[in-house]
Structure 1
Amino acid sequence: MKFLSLSQLSWLLFTCPTLVFGSPFTPDTPQKSHNIKRDNDTSPGSMVQLNADSDFHFEILRALSFAPYQGADIGEVLVAANQIVPGDFESFHDAFYDLANRVHDSAQAIDSARYPVSARNALFREAAYYRSADFFLHGNWTDPRIDSLWTQQLAAFDAAIKLLPTPGERVTLQGDGFEIPAVFYGSGLRGRRPTMLMCNGYDGAQEEMYHAVGEAVLQRGMNVITFEGPGQPTVRRQQGAGFIPEWEKVVTPVIDYALSRRDVDAHKIGLWGQSFAGYLAPRAAAFDHRLAAVVAFDGLYSFAQAVFDQFGPEVTALYESGDEETFNGIILSVLADPATPTTIRWAIEQGIWSFKSASPFEWATEVEKYTLDGIVQNITTPVFVAAAQEEKFFAGQAQILAEKLGDLATYHLFESIDGAGEHCSLGASVLSNQVVLDWFQDIIS
C-alpha cells in the first residue's frame, strides 16, 4: 500500500475540508473542552453552538430536536452535552450512554399500568439516547457496542410504542432478497385514512422518524408507516446488507403492505424521505406510481455528485484513473490521522459501514450509482423539495432536483432566521412539519 507524505495529507485536508456526508463541517473551529457560542457570529439566524466540534454540535442538536415529539428532554441532553470533549468519539458515547442508562433506570421504576404516558415518554427518551451513544462507533465493525446498544434501543422503543393510545405494530415485509422491518402507527380514527410512509437516510433509524415527523402526522389524523431497507441501521446489523441503489425494491413492498390494510386510503399515500432518503424517495417514485405525493427532505438529485464534489477534483481524478491502491491509501491515511476533523472521519467510516464496503475505493464505486440521471423524467408524482439555507454537504442539490422535476416540484427554502437553516431543518421540526404536512393535506384534499 502506498502512504501519503505529510505534505500530501495536508493538501487533502485543507483543499477538501468539506468532505462530509453526515453533518456540516466548519473549518478552523477552535477545539475547546467546553460548550461555546461563536463570539464573532452575530448575524441574524446564527445558532448557539452546543460544542466546539461542529459535528458534535450537529448531533447534540439532533438529540435536542426530538423534544417536541417525546424523544428527548432538553435539560438532560444539555447536561450530557457538557460532558463531551470535542473530537473525542468515546466521550460522546459515554455521555449519551450514561444518560440512557439513567433514563432506563427511571423508566423501569414507573408502573406502566398506572402511568402509561410517563412510562412511554421515558422509554422513548431512553431509546433515543442509546441511538446517540452508538452514532460515532462504526469505524470499528467488531465493536460489540454496535449491536448491544441497538438491542437496548429496540427494546426500549418497542416497549414505548405498546403504550401509545393506538399501539404501534411491528411488521416484517419481504423484499428482493432481504427483509424490510417496518412499524405501523394507526391514527385511531375509523375508516380509511391518509397514510405517510417514511424512511430515514445515510445514518438514521426508522425509530428516529417517529420523533422527527411521525407524531406530527398522527396528530393530524393520518397513519404512519416507517421502514428500513439495506444499509440502514437494523437491516445492516441483523441481515448484513449494505445500501442498494434500487430503492424501489424497498418501497414497493411497503406500498403493497399499506394497500393491504383496511385503514389506509389507497389514493392518499405519501412517501417522506429524510436526508439521504431525499434521494431514495424520488428514486422509488420513478418506478412505482401509486403514491399521491413525495417529500424530499432535503432534496437530493445526485448523491454521487455531492460526494465527488466533496472529494475535490484531484481525488476524484485519482479515483477515475482506477488507481485503487493510492486512492485507498489517501483515505485510510486521513482516517488514521488524529488531526482529521470529526466530520470527515465519521462520514467516511459511516459510508464504508453502511454500504458494507471492503475499502474506500469500493464504497466510492457504489456511490457512483446514486444519481437520478436518466430516471427523473419517470417521476409523475408531486414532490415537495425542501432546502436548508445553511446546507453544508448537499449544497445546491435541492435546487437541481426541483429544476429537473419542473412543475411537479414545490420548492421551499427553510431559513436560518427561523432556526430552520440546518440540514433537514434540524431543531425546527414543529415549523417544518407544519409547512410540509399542510402541503401534503392540500395535495390529497
Structure 2
Amino acid sequence: MKFTSVSLFIISCSNLVFGSPFTRKMFQKPHSIKRDNDTSPGSMLKLSSDADFHFEILRVLSVAPYQGADIGEVLVAANQIVPGDFESFYAAFNDLANIVHDYAKAIDSEKYPVSARNALFREATYYRSADFFLHGNWSDPRIDSLWEKQLTAFDSAIALLPTPGERITLQGDGFEIPAIFFGNGLPGPRPTLLMCNGYDGSQEEMYHAVGEAALQRGINVITFEGPGQPTVRRQQGLGFIPEWEKVVSPIIDYASSRRDVDASKIGLWGESFAGYLAPRVAAFDHRLAAVIAFDGLYSFGQAIFDQFGPEMTALYQSGNEEEFNSIILSMLADPATPTTIRWAIEQGLWSFKAASPFEWATEVEKYTLDGIVQDITTPVFVAAAQEEMFFAGQAELLAEKLGDLATYHLFESIDGAGEHCSLGASVLSSQVILDWFQDVIPS
C-alpha cells in the first residue's frame, strides 16, 4: 500500500484521539449520585487551545490537593506557554521550578519543616513538568539534569514527613527496582498499596496523585518504577518489558517481610498505562488482595493501533518497515501534527527504547491480556473516564473480560472527573477507590 502524504494518517489519528467518548455502562457504579436534571455530560474550562497541553497543565494542577503544586503559580506559568510549542512548555515550568527552588532554599527546614517540605514537593513537580515534552531528542542533557533536580527536591521533602519516606532498591530479574516506602506511623501491621505509574509518569508523582490520600486513611504506600519508567529508563537504560510481574513480585516479597505490613491486605494500584500492567501482574502473582486499574486497559497494543488507524495498521501488518518508519518520522517533523500524536510517538520511542517506529509498534503488540485474563483471581476496580482521550473503550472491555471480579466505575464529566485518570478530581477519585479498597480487603 502506497501513501503519498501523511495527511490521511493525521486525520485518522486525530478522529480517534479526539472523537466522541465511549461511555457505555456495564456494571453498577458504586457511590453513584443520581441527578434528575442531568442533560449534559458537563465540560471543563480549557487551559490551552492545545488539547494535550490542557491535559498536562491540568495534570500539574491535579496534584495541588496533596501538596504537589500551588494553583495560582501554575496558572501564571501556564499563561507563558504557546500552544504546541514544546520549548515554551519547558521554559514556563523550568522557570517556575527555579523560583520555587529559591523559595525552598530560603526556608529554615528545622524551624519550619512543613513549609520547607511543601515548597520542595512543588519544586520537584515543576522540574518533572519541565522535562515532559523533551524526549524526542534522547541526547538532550536536560532529560537527566531536570530529573536529578526533581529527585533531589523530592528526597529532601520526604525526609521532612512526620514518618519519613524510605528510599529502597530491590533486585528484579536483570534490573533494579527503585521504590519508596511511606509508612503512616500507626501501630501494628497495616493494609498496604503498591503504586505504579504508567507510560510517562514517575513514582514521585504517585505520592501526590493518591499516596497521601491513602496514608490519611491508615494505608501504607510503596511507590515504585520498573523498566521504561523515568528513573529506570535514565539510570539503567532499560525500556518497558511486558512481564510486569517480574517488577512487582519482588516488591510483594519485600512488603510481606515488613512487620508494619499486613501481608493479607496488599493491593496494587496501576495508573494510566499501568491500568494494563497491574491486572497482568494479578494473572501471575495471586498474593494481591485487590487491584486498581485506573483507568482500565485490556490491550495497550490494540489501543495504539486504534490510534494509528486502519491504513497505517495495514501497512505495519504488511511488514513494510521502511515505508512505515518514513511516514511516522515525517509526521514527527511536521509542525501540523497534533501534539498528542507527536508526543505519544516520541515518548513511546524513548520509554520503550525503540530504535524505530516499526520496532516500537512491534513491542506494543505484546501488551495484551489475551490468553492470561482468565488467570486473574483477584478483585479488580476498573475505572473509566467519560472523556477518555487515549484508551477509549478499553476499560469497558477489561471489565467485561473480568466478569464478576470487576467493579466498574465510570467517572463523569459533570463531576469534573471525566478526563483520563480523572485528572483534576483526585479527591473524588481517591474517595471512591480507596473506600472500595478498604471494603474489599479481608477484615
The correspondence of residues 166-205 of structure 1 with structure 2, limited to 5 A, is: 166-205=163-202
Distance (Å, rounded) in 2 between the aligned partners of 1:11 and 1:216: 44
Distance (Å, rounded) in 2 between the aligned partners of 1:15 and 1:262: 53
> In the alignment, which residue of structure 1 is the partner of 2:10?
13
> In the alignment, which residue of structure 2 is the partner of 1:226?
223
Which SS does the other structure have where 2:427 is aligned? helix
> In the alignment, which residue of structure 2 is the partner of 1:111?
108
Larger displacement relative to structure 2 (43-52 or 96-105)? 43-52
Paired AA for residue 172 in structure 1 = T
Distance (Å, rounded) in 2 between the aligned partners of 1:439 and 1:344: 35
> In the alignment, which residue of structure 2 is the partner of 1:294?
291
Do 1:292 and 1:381's aligned partners in 2 also have CA atoms closer than 8 Å? yes
Distance (Å, rounded) in 2 between the aligned partners of 1:317 and 1:25: 21
> In the alignment, which residue of structure 1 is the partner of 2:56?
59
Distance (Å, rounded) in 1 between the aligned partners of 2:252 and 2:2: 48
Distance (Å, rounded) in 1 between the aligned partners of 2:3 and 2:309: 17
- State whether structure 2 residue 409 is matched by structure 1 residue 412: yes
**2:430 is matched with which residue: 425, 429, 433?**
433
Deviation at 1:25? 8.2
Paired AA for residue 141 in structure 1 = W
> In the alignment, which residue of structure 2 is the partner of 1:248?
245
> In the alignment, which residue of structure 1 is the partner of 2:132?
135
- State whether structure 2 residue 426 is matched by structure 1 residue 424: no
> In the alignment, which residue of structure 1 is the partner of 2:256?
259
Do 1:19 and 1:307's aligned partners in 2 also have CA atoms closer than 8 Å? no
Deviation at 1:17? 1.3
Paired AA for residue 274 in structure 1 = E
Paired AA for residue 242 in structure 1 = G
Paired AA for residue 274 in structure 2 = A
Unaligned runs of 5+ in 1: 27-41
CA change 1:276–1:18 in 2 (3 A) is farther
CA change 1:125–1:161 in 2 (3 A) is same
> In the alignment, which residue of structure 2 is the partner of 1:34?
none
Q: Deviations over 1:351-381 (max 9, x none)?
A: 0000000000000000000000000000000
Distance (Å, rounded) in 2 between the aligned partners of 1:221 and 1:314: 51
Q: Deviations over 1:65-106 (max 9, x none)?
A: 000000000000000000000000000000000000000000
> In the alignment, which residue of structure 1 is the partner of 2:209?
212
| Number of residue pairs matched by the alignment | 424
Do 2:193 and 2:267's aligned partners in 1 also have CA atoms closer than 8 Å? yes
Which contiguous aligned blocks of 4+ residues in structure 1 show a shift greater than 2 angstroms? 2-5
Q: Deviations over 1:101-138 (max 9, x none)?
A: 00000000000000000000000000000000000000
Deviation at 1:3? 10
Distance (Å, rounded) in 2 between the aligned partners of 1:283 and 1:328: 30
Which SS does the other structure have where 1:299 is aligned? coil
Distance (Å, rounded) in 2 between the aligned partners of 1:347 and 1:25: 17
> In the alignment, which residue of structure 1 is the partner of 2:73?
76
Q: Deviations over 1:203-223 (max 9, x none)?
A: 000000000000000000110
> In the alignment, which residue of structure 2 is the partner of 1:38?
none
> In the alignment, which residue of structure 2 is the partner of 1:325?
322
Paired AA for residue 194 in structure 1 = P
Deviation at 1:349? 0.1
- State whether structure 2 residue 323 is matched by structure 1 residue 363: no
Do 1:183 and 1:226's aligned partners in 2 also have CA atoms closer than 8 Å? yes
Do 1:231 and 1:243's aligned partners in 2 also have CA atoms closer than 8 Å? yes
Distance (Å, rounded) in 1 between the aligned partners of 2:250 and 2:362: 27
> In the alignment, which residue of structure 1 is the partner of 2:346?
349
> In the alignment, which residue of structure 1 is the partner of 2:118?
121
> In the alignment, which residue of structure 1 is the partner of 2:46?
49
Deviation at 1:18? 4.8
**1:92 is matched with which residue: 81, 84, 89?**
89
Do 1:4 and 1:329's aligned partners in 2 also have CA atoms closer than 8 Å? no
> In the alignment, which residue of structure 2 is the partner of 1:39?
none
> In the alignment, which residue of structure 1 is the partner of 2:31?
none
Q: Percent identity?
A: 83
Deviation at 1:383? 0.2
Distance (Å, rounded) in 2 between the aligned partners of 1:395 and 1:288: 28
CA change 1:4–1:139 in 2 (3 A) is farther
Deviation at 1:187? 1.1
> In the alignment, which residue of structure 2 is the partner of 1:378?
375
Do 2:295 and 2:385's aligned partners in 1 also have CA atoms closer than 8 Å? yes
Distance (Å, rounded) in 1 between the aligned partners of 2:412 and 2:7: 34
Distance (Å, rounded) in 1 between the aligned partners of 2:371 and 2:410: 26
Distance (Å, rounded) in 2 between the aligned partners of 1:265 and 1:15: 49
Larger RCO of the pair (alpha carbons < 8 Å, separation 6+): 2
Deviation at 1:15? 2.4
Paired AA for residue 152 in structure 1 = K
Distance (Å, rounded) in 2 between the aligned partners of 1:219 and 1:392: 31
CA change 1:4–1:312 in 2 (3 A) is closer
Paired AA for residue 163 in structure 1 = L
Q: Deviations over 1:272-320 (max 9, x none)?
A: 0000000000001100000000000000000011011111111001001
Paired AA for residue 306 in structure 2 = D
Distance (Å, rounded) in 2 between the aligned partners of 1:232 and 1:258: 21
Distance (Å, rounded) in 1 between the aligned partners of 2:199 and 2:173: 20
Which SS does the other structure have where 1:52 is aligned? coil
Do 1:197 and 1:269's aligned partners in 2 also have CA atoms closer than 8 Å? yes
Deviation at 1:16? 2.3
Unaligned runs of 5+ in 2: 21-38
> In the alignment, which residue of structure 2 is the partner of 1:37?
none
Query: Normalization by structure 2: what TM-score?
Result: 0.94
> In the alignment, which residue of structure 2 is the partner of 1:303?
300
> In the alignment, which residue of structure 2 is the partner of 1:336?
333
Paired AA for residue 251 in structure 1 = V
Paired AA for residue 248 in structure 1 = E
